Amino acid sequence: MSESPRPLFVPTERIEALIRTADQQFILGKVHSQPGKRLKDEMNSDSSRFIAITDARVYDATGGHLLYETSFLLLANDHIVSVTPRSSVTGGELPWLQTPSP
């Protein structure tokens, strides 16, 4: 009896980010990128049509209404309008800028 192959583990860095989509949703979650690779390089990669996002909260166009939460989603690069690292945001009082309660 042969063992089934183990899935490949690909190490990633997780960057908490705010993502605005073409259909005007806001996503707050952790973007996965290759270690040592800049977020800009990850987004411009020709080999990847999707980015992985974990611990995602998806909000409406105003950012005031939570639509849903998910532990994992794949987002098509061509649907992304902007990506901002959460650590770069210095102000604002919208719910998606607040730290969620445990």
Q: Which pLDDT does position 46 carry in this prediction?
A: 58
CATH of region 13-78, choose from 2.40.50.140, 4.10.320.10, 1.10.10.10, 2.30.30.100 = 2.30.30.100
Per the rule left: phi > 0, alpha: psi between -120 and 50, beta: everything else, 83 is beta
Give CA–CA dist 24/47, Å, rounded.
Answer: 26
Q: Which pLDDT does position 85 carry in this prediction?
A: 85
Q: Which pLDDT does position 28 carry in this prediction?
A: 93
Give CA–CA dist 84/28, Å, rounded.
Answer: 10
Per-residue pLDDT 10s for the chain (102 aa) are 556 666 666 777 888 999 999 988 999 999 987 787 777 777 776 566 888 899 999 999 888 899 999 999 999 988 999 988 888 887 766 555 555 555
Strand, coil or helix: 22: coil
Domain ranges (residues) in the chain:
13-78
